[in-house]
Every structure is written in structure tokens, then in C-alpha cells.
Structure 1
């Protein structure tokens, strides 16, 4: 494509390649997700008819029924369309689903036509062109010269228009390019697009979208390897890595992967950025640590968070995540140390109070744990988690009546969870109310899905029941009562 190559040649490789890399990742990894969202969520929702109350509506009125807007809001379409709009602004390919059914025209049987730059004077569509009036820029011309559609989609749009009845096509053309002059804003947009740097990014995105359609929609696509099934991680290619891993671009690429949940690759690039350029950047140590925490490498995450702490001490976010990782590693003293640091900065956080209480409970410091749990129960509008903790803490410390009180409160909720039924069963068993205990165990078993799963979870608590005086033999036999 000579037009694209000449534009791209105007910029250096190091300036254009990072954008091309992100555009390739958008097409190979995001377009399928967007296409799926369009086909399975947005289009089906828009095809549904809201239940409209037409009684009393004047036939001559042109007012929109307000129920339509309510239906749109309830369906979630507004949020989904807003999300797609944001994706389009970022350069994502949001039109693959729309145009995938419009590639059956004879024009697309020739392989080279999939890569033609759009030309309004192309012989089969020239009749749609309104001519060249320098004083007027038609809306159709603006559409065709914008970066909204890639080239093959523009051809699809034009061929679709040509298939319309002439009268309908005429009306549509009048709407698009009748006597309207382009606004100054749109003229400025066209002027911007003619500038080399913007144009280079636009041309590369157009070409990649065309390329994606070719590999996904061409009638003989199964005869060749689909490059968009590859990882397209150009930064791992020796000849290109130096440009992509440049200090001005590596973080942009890592951030893109991070925000699109490609965590392993993002972590590798953050590591490279730290090693090559940014050993004193606390934020990068945090981002890399967060990735290792997300993928379950808690020990490595702790190392990265500690490095960040050396560079920017007493950061509440960093301390909270250090506490979380230490807790996952079973190091409750260190977890508590960092939770307490966070508490100094966020003394009103009820979620933090709950986490501190759970650490204290794991350290068997039950009286201190209960103080935190009671605080949460008193202040939280939804105190169920605090009540679960109070119930279990009370049971473990032998305060069975208090445990019974709190599990009874949980049982009065509309939908108690499996653990509530199980633990309430433990309390009533220790209180020698066996029938009630079996009733609650049966409820827990129903939520487990199978007897075997119930027995597995029940046996986890056997050691705690034995500490409260339960007979081990009886505990072995009791689950059989549920069969």
C-alpha cells in the first residue's frame, strides 16, 4: 500500500512502531471480545421491543415515549454503548461485527481488493460521489475520509448503498450530503488528519483493521495461516525489540497490557523497565508487585512492594497490599504490622477493621479480634461478615450462648450461606441440641451440592469441634445421619 508506506516513512521507526504494536494487540486480542459483546449483548438487547403502554397516545404526536429511555437504561445498553464509544476513541475496532456480513460483494472476491485504499472515484462507486466542491465538504465525504471506518468497510458501505432502491438511496444521500456545509470543527478534523504524525497513526490502524478482516472474512482464509492467532509480541523479536523497549515507550506498552489484563506480559515489561531505566521509580515497583500478587506469586510481590516502600515510605496503598500478601503467605504477625500502619492513615475504614480482626483471630488473640468485630457490627450497614466473625470467635472461645445468638441472627437473613448453616450446626451440636444440629447440617449439605463435598468441608472443622469437647467417634458417625 504505497499511500500508507509513504506516510509511515515520514516518521522514524521508533516513533511509529510502538503505536503499531498496540494497534496489533488491540486487533488480535480485543476485537474478538468486542465482536462477542456486540453479537451477544448489545445487538440482541437493541432488537428487543420494550413493553410500551400506548393507551392515550396521540397518533399525531412526535414526542418520544419516556418509557423507551427507561427501558434503555434498565437494559444496560447505555453503559455498554458508552464503553464501546470509549473503545472506539482509543482506536479499538468496534465495527467488525457490523461489517462482517457485508463482505460478500463481488469486489471482495479478488484478494488485492481487501487492501485497496478507499477511492470515491473507483468506477463501481463513483456515482455516489457528489463531486469536488471546495466550498462545501459533504457529510458523506467526511465520513469516507474519517478514521471511523477502515477502507474495506467504506467499500462495503458504498456497495450496500448501491443496492438500495434509487429513491431510498437518493433520500439517504440527501441526508448525508445534501446542502450542508461541514462545520468548522469537522474541517479542522480533516486538516489534522492530513498532518504526518496523526496521518501515520491513522494509516497504520486502517491497514491493520483491513488486514484483520482479510484474515477473518476472506472466502479462502482457511488456506493460509491467520497471523491474528499469534501473540504478536513484537517486543520479543530481536530486530524490533530495541525500538519497542526504548525508555520513552516501554512503560506505555506495559501499561496497555496491564489495563487489558495481560498480566504476565505486563509484569515482564515492568521488570525490564525497572532493570533498564527506572530502578528508583516507586510506582513501577508497585505495579509489578500488584501483578505478581494478582497471579499468586505473593513472595515476589512482597519483595517488590518492599522496594517501593524504600523509595516512598508509608504509602497506605502499598502497606495494605503488603499486609494482604503476608496474610496469603500465612505470616500473620507481619500482616498485622502492615495493617496497623494502614490503620493509622485510615482509622475509619470498616473493611480494614475486619481484616485486622481476622489477623488477630488467626493469631488466637480473640479478645482483641472481638473488639474490632463488634466495632464493625455496630457501624456497618451490612454487618453480616462481622457477625460471622463474632459467631466463630465466640464458639472457639467457649462462649456458646453468644455464638448461638449471632448465628441465629445470620439464620434470620433471607439467604444464609453454607458456612452459616455449617457453623450454626457446630454450635448446636456442642450445646447437645443434636436434632437442631442435624437440621442445620442438612441445610449446609443442600448448598454444598453433594454429600461428599459436605463431608470434606465438615472434616476441616473437626479439630475445632474436638477442642470444644466433641467426641471424635461421634463426629465420624454424624454425617451418616444426613444420608
Structure 2
């Protein structure tokens, strides 16, 4: 079997399991066993098959077996685990994927002989460092040697928990010792949680998942938040099979009994959903903002060079023209929008720091998951001999994740010393302000520290799965970002008041309407409905083009809270979008009754009359609008078109010319003007207008002719001979620009 066939067999086995087709699942499992040729797995499959046959025989013979459901669920769970183990072993033999290559090499490259020896080496580092620290000047060489050896051990402990197929007693003991409060190593605590998460992401293992659940109970927030984040992703991946593992469910129920844990989960799920926005922000930075900045930068440079001639009294006065340039280009507004998003917690640094992940530092896999540590040898030069202002500013900066902090420090180290000094001075000036802001935030938001830890860790993971040179060899965790609400974990957490509605509101606020609908439809069944709830549900159906469902929801909102103008307008809109212009007109007229002379509502009333071919009524509305606001180009367009379709060519010509003269005419404006000119027998003018319409449609003849054909009945009704139409179109096509 090749790699694709292995994955197909595994996926098919899981599909059959999930749909209750155990015999088919067994057959697919056998395909993987045949590839592996190991008796241990054949025995496991034979036991499962035999037990299932017993269950079926008892069922067919009519035996009342109260344990049948329990046995059946255990069969599914064991078959799922068997397939997970099989896939791991088959891919270990055959895959050139980075993870499996590392699994094969790790036993030959690790620097320890046992987990106990590895732990002893870490303890030796901390004990010796503590002894020598008080006389660091005389033991500088030895301290550096200890540090170097310590840092070489980090990939070993990460690799052990990331790559091991199953954890024995020694690995479990080591995991427990590292996570003990008395153990001094903060880096090790963090990276073993990341390694365990990656291990579970690659293959399911109930015992390992139990270790991750243990870590979720830690008092250390670095451990706890990383474990909770990892748990969200892992449980979402194996979601459909978790109900078959009652021990996991029981532990999750106990975990969700803690209100602080539930709040942590809520923050984490929202932050995971927010990563969808990170891709949008990055794309916008690369495609919109940076190109615009590059365009205007020469102009800014010219202005700044000229202003360098200013005397010293004017030295600090900024030229308002600089801001004018930003405003004119639109960059200013976009940067303000990004600043606002940053204040709301959006990850706006992804684009910037994506360019700084090519340092050799990031070629070591473990470094992508490390918390920021100023003492780490790759960056500690920046923090030696300083008054710690740089350190305090860095550690207090919650906007940058750990990975980006390393990137920033590595880039600073490449700068000349003079530039480094300027940056350090800048941090010194900001340090007090950052410290005060951190104190204020801590008072206002007691759980801010845990929230920031999880946010930064999620951003670290996001950078790994998007920017690491080997990221394509990994299933992307963030492909599940918009599916967290469909998980087994989410269902358990939803038993807490407000949890489901808070996530639903967040989805809604970020325009993830399909996901928000999933939750709001459940909330609708679980709570006393309100007009506001039905309004939101209607709006989401509308935004997803489910107009009949939207209309039903709006009608329910109107029943609970009659004559709400917003609701009545939406009801009218749904009728209009569904093509029921009679009903749409009825509701728009009702809105006009409730609040007369709203321009947009009057315009829609006119459009409904037009669609119903009540041209005089439509023109009456449009002329009323023109009287109220004589500079409204949309009204002129409407009058021109309505006059054209009703046969008043002179009036159509007058308003069409106004649109062309005073507005920025579009393709449709020139098309309509061409129709009017043709009906006046001004053939050359008609061709010229049509040519302009085509030009604005990038000379796409198919689009032009599709729109033109829709208007043919009106041209003929206004006196154009249908036999002339092919002639004019041929003449138009023969013009040089077509």
C-alpha cells in the first residue's frame, strides 16, 4: 500500500465505525493488518470479530442482554484504537513524512539512555547552577557550559513525549515529576505539554489523553492553559468517537464543574475562532496595506527631505501633509482599523513576523513551542548588563506571542550596536507605561494572566502550523477553528449558563453566520424566545440566502414585538428578494406609515411599483424623492429607467444625460443611455455608449450581451426594429476597441 492507500483505508474504517457498520470496519482494518504482517494486531482484530459475532448471535436468538449496548460501545472504542495504532505502525514503516522520519531517527540521536537519566541531567543543571550563581563572575565559563548542556537536553525531552508511540511507567513518572510544583524548570513544563499535544494530534491514546487532563488541573497557569488549549484541539479531532470512552466523558464533566475552567475554555474557544480573522488580516496586510504604503513612500520621503531644511524651532512639528497623504491613499483608515482590531485582541503581527521565521533558531523543532526565556542563549545577549527595562517591557507585552518575541530579539541582534541602543532606549521609555497598563488590566480583569497565556500559546501554534518549513507534513489544527461548537467537549460545557450564547454571539459578531445559526437554533429551543433572538436568527438566514426561513423568523419577531421598523423592513426585503413584490410593497408602505419619508424606504416602494409594472406610481415616488433631494443620482437612474420602460423616451433621455454628466457613470448607466439613444434613432451615439459600457466591463462580450438581451423587449416596445438588433451588435463588435 502507498501512503494515500493507507490513509484511505484508515479513513474508510473510521467512517464505517461512525456509521455503525462494524463488519465493514473490520474488513478495512484487516487491509492495514495485511500490510503490517504482525500477529499481535491480527489477534486483536480476531478477538473483536469473535465478540461481535457473539453479540449478534445473542441478539438474533432473542436473548435479553442488558449489557449489549455497553459491549457494543466497547467494540467500537477498541476498533477505533486498533486502527489508530495500525496507522501509526504502518506509516512509521512507510512514510517519509517529517514526524515519522523523526520517530525513526530519535532513538539513535537522543542524548539519554532512559527517562530517569534525562530527569537526573535536568536536576544536575539546576543544582549546579544554583551553587555557582552567587559567584557567577568566577564561574562564568562553567555556567555557560551547564547552560549549553541544558539546552541540548530540551529537544530530548520534547522528542520523547512527542514521538513515543506509547508511554511506559518511566515516561509517565517523568511527566509527573516535571509537572510537580517543586520542579524548577518552566521551559520543560511548557514543552512537555506541547509535545504530548502533538503526540495525541498524531494518534489517539486514552492513557495519554488522561495525562493531558491531569495537566488541566495544574495550579501552574502555563501548564494549565497549554493543556486546556491542547485538549480543545485533540477532542475536536476525535470528537465522533469520544462518546465511546466513558472515562474521558466523566473526567470532562468533573472538569466542567469548575466555573473558572469553564471561563478558561470559553476564552480559548473564542481565541481559536479568532484565528480565522488572522488569515484575513495577514492577507489584507500583504495585498492592500503594504503595497499602498510602498506606493506613497517615495512621496513621503520627498516631503521629509524637504522638511529637513526647517530650523530647529520647527524641529518637532510634523507636517500635516504627511497625514493627508495617508488619508488620500486610504492607508490611514486601514491602519486605524487594524489598531482597533489589535485593541480587541486580534493577531495583527502574523504578517510582520512571518518574514522573521527563517533564523537558524527556528530550524530546531522544539523552539516553536517554547515560552519566551530571556536567559536562553540565542537571545540572552540583549538582557545582560541591562537594568531589566527591556526584560520587563518584553515580559509585559501581551500583544506579541513567544515565537514573535524570539523573532524580534534575533532580528535586533543582527542590527549594529547604535541601532540596538535606540531600540533599548525606546523600550526603557515605554517600560513604566507598560507596567502601569498591566497593573490596571490585572485589576479590571482578574483572569487576564491566564487569558494572555492561552492567547499567546494559540498564536505560537498558529505560526507553527502556518509558517514552519515542515508544516505541510502536519494536519493543520486550525482547520477545526470553526468546528469547536460541534464537539463533545462543547456539549458538556454548554450545561453552564451563558456559555453557548456567549460563543454564539461571538460567531455572530465575526459574521460566521452558519456557525452562529447552529447555536442560535439550539438556544431557540432551550429558552423562552424573544423578538431580539428571532431578529438575529432571521438576519443570519438572510445573510446565508435562506430567505423563506429568514422571513419565518422575522414574522415571529414581529408577532412578539409588532411594528418594529427594523423587523418590518426586513420582512419587506425578504419578500422582495423572493420575488413577491406585492407583499414587499405592502410592508414597505407599512414602514412608510410608521415613519414617513425615509429615503431608502421610498426608493424600495418605487422599485416595487416598477417591478409590478405600475410605472405611474413608481414615477410618482421617484419624483417625490427628487423634490426632497435634487442631487440623488440613484433617483435619477430610477427615473431614467422607469421612463424608458414606460415609453417616455424624452424624459428618459433627460435624466440619463444628468447621470452621465454629474455622476461617475458605470457600465449599466452607459448601457441604459445607449438604449435611450437608439430609441431616438441616434445610432452613432448608441454605439458610443455601448462601447463605453463594454469597456467598463473589461470588454467581456458575454457579460454585456447577457445584460443586453434582458432589455431587448423594452427596445422593441419603444420602436426599435428587432431586425436591426443584429446589425447594431455586429457594428459594435467591429469597432476597434472591441
**Take 1:153 and 1:257, find their aligned partners in 2: how far apart are those partners?**
27
Q: Which moved more, 1:87-96 or 1:108-117?
A: 108-117
Q: Which moved more, 1:333-342 or 1:383-392?
A: 383-392
Partner of 1:143: 394
Q: CA deviation at 1:159?
A: 3.4
Partner of 2:589, secondary structure, is helix
1:353-368 equivalences in 2 (<5 Å): 353-368=602-617
- Aligned equivalent of 1:325, options 567, 570, 574: 574
- The alpha-carbon distance between structure 1 residues 152 and 445, as it changes in their structure 2 partners (threshold 3 A), is closer
- 2:310 maps to 1:63: no
Compute the RMSD of aligned alpha carbons: 3.4
Q: CA deviation at 1:126?
A: 4.2
The answer on whether the counterparts of 1:140 and 1:177 sit within 8 Å (CA) in structure 2 is no
Partner of 2:239: none
Partner of 1:90: 344
Q: CA deviation at 1:304?
A: 1.0
**Take 1:132 and 1:89, find their aligned partners in 2: how far apart are those partners?**
30
- The alpha-carbon distance between structure 1 residues 394 and 58, as it changes in their structure 2 partners (threshold 3 A), is closer
Partner of 2:398, secondary structure, is coil
The answer on whether the counterparts of 2:369 and 2:460 sit within 8 Å (CA) in structure 1 is yes
Partner of 2:306, secondary structure, is coil
- The alpha-carbon distance between structure 1 residues 102 and 365, as it changes in their structure 2 partners (threshold 3 A), is closer
- 2:289 maps to 1:35: no
- Aligned equivalent of 2:449, options 199, 214, 239: 199
**Take 1:423 and 1:104, find their aligned partners in 2: how far apart are those partners?**
56
Partner of 1:215, secondary structure, is helix
- 2:641 maps to 1:389: no
The answer on whether the counterparts of 1:373 and 1:389 sit within 8 Å (CA) in structure 2 is yes
1:187-266 equivalences in 2 (<5 Å): 188-189=439-440, 191-192=442-443, 195=446, 197-244=447-494, 247-266=497-516
Q: CA deviation at 1:430?
A: 4.7
Q: CA deviation at 1:339?
A: 0.5
The answer on whether the counterparts of 1:161 and 1:169 sit within 8 Å (CA) in structure 2 is yes
Unaligned runs of 5+ in 2: 1-189, 191-219, 229-254, 734-738
**Take 1:170 and 1:394, find their aligned partners in 2: how far apart are those partners?**
72
Partner of 2:560: 311
**Take 1:306 and 1:164, find their aligned partners in 2: how far apart are those partners?**
65
Post-superposition Cα deviations, 1:373-401, rounded to whole Å, max 9, x if no partner, equal 10112222433332333233334444343
Q: CA deviation at 1:453?
A: 4.4
- 2:394 maps to 1:114: no
Q: CA deviation at 1:20?
A: 0.8
- Aligned equivalent of 2:262, options 14, 26, 38: 14
Q: Which moved more, 1:175-184 or 1:343-352?
A: 175-184
Q: Which structure shows the bigger proportion of residues in helix conformation? A: 2
Q: CA deviation at 1:429?
A: 4.7
- The alpha-carbon distance between structure 1 residues 328 and 142, as it changes in their structure 2 partners (threshold 3 A), is same
Partner of 2:403: 152
**Take 2:270 and 2:526, find their aligned partners in 1: how far apart are those partners?**
21
The answer on whether the counterparts of 1:144 and 1:154 sit within 8 Å (CA) in structure 2 is no
Q: CA deviation at 1:479?
A: 3.7
Q: CA deviation at 1:98?
A: 2.4
- The alpha-carbon distance between structure 1 residues 388 and 215, as it changes in their structure 2 partners (threshold 3 A), is closer
The answer on whether the counterparts of 2:606 and 2:619 sit within 8 Å (CA) in structure 1 is yes
Post-superposition Cα deviations, 1:339-375, rounded to whole Å, max 9, x if no partner, equal 0121123323222211111111222322222111101
Answer 1 or 2: higher relative contact order, Cα 8 Å, separation at least 6: 1
1:390-405 equivalences in 2 (<5 Å): 390-405=639-654
- Aligned equivalent of 1:343, options 592, 597, 602: 592
**Take 2:653 and 2:718, find their aligned partners in 1: how far apart are those partners?**
14
- 2:527 maps to 1:277: yes
**Take 1:307 and 1:273, find their aligned partners in 2: how far apart are those partners?**
15
The answer on whether the counterparts of 2:572 and 2:583 sit within 8 Å (CA) in structure 1 is yes
**Take 1:442 and 1:181, find their aligned partners in 2: how far apart are those partners?**
65
Post-superposition Cα deviations, 1:192-223, rounded to whole Å, max 9, x if no partner, equal 4994x222211111111111122223343333
Partner of 2:274: 26
The answer on whether the counterparts of 1:193 and 1:199 sit within 8 Å (CA) in structure 2 is no
- 2:679 maps to 1:461: no
**Take 2:426 and 2:638, find their aligned partners in 1: how far apart are those partners?**
66
**Take 1:301 and 1:347, find their aligned partners in 2: how far apart are those partners?**
25
The answer on whether the counterparts of 2:393 and 2:427 sit within 8 Å (CA) in structure 1 is no
**Take 2:515 and 2:710, find their aligned partners in 1: how far apart are those partners?**
38
**Take 2:706 and 2:434, find their aligned partners in 1: how far apart are those partners?**
70
Q: CA deviation at 1:153?
A: 2.1
Q: CA deviation at 1:108?
A: 2.9
- The alpha-carbon distance between structure 1 residues 72 and 366, as it changes in their structure 2 partners (threshold 3 A), is closer
Q: How many residues align?
A: 477
- The alpha-carbon distance between structure 1 residues 74 and 460, as it changes in their structure 2 partners (threshold 3 A), is closer
The answer on whether the counterparts of 2:442 and 2:449 sit within 8 Å (CA) in structure 1 is no
- The alpha-carbon distance between structure 1 residues 155 and 190, as it changes in their structure 2 partners (threshold 3 A), is farther
Q: CA deviation at 1:177?
A: 3.5
User: TM-score scaled by structure 1?
Assistant: 0.85
Q: CA deviation at 1:336?
A: 0.8
The answer on whether the counterparts of 1:410 and 1:420 sit within 8 Å (CA) in structure 2 is yes
Post-superposition Cα deviations, 1:123-182, rounded to whole Å, max 9, x if no partner, equal 55445447899xxx7354033233122122223333344444455545543443489756
**Take 2:418 and 2:702, find their aligned partners in 1: how far apart are those partners?**
71
- The alpha-carbon distance between structure 1 residues 433 and 105, as it changes in their structure 2 partners (threshold 3 A), is closer
Partner of 1:75: 329
**Take 1:70 and 1:435, find their aligned partners in 2: how far apart are those partners?**
44
Q: Which moved more, 1:141-150 or 1:398-407?
A: 398-407
**Take 1:187 and 1:431, find their aligned partners in 2: how far apart are those partners?**
73
**Take 1:421 and 1:42, find their aligned partners in 2: how far apart are those partners?**
33
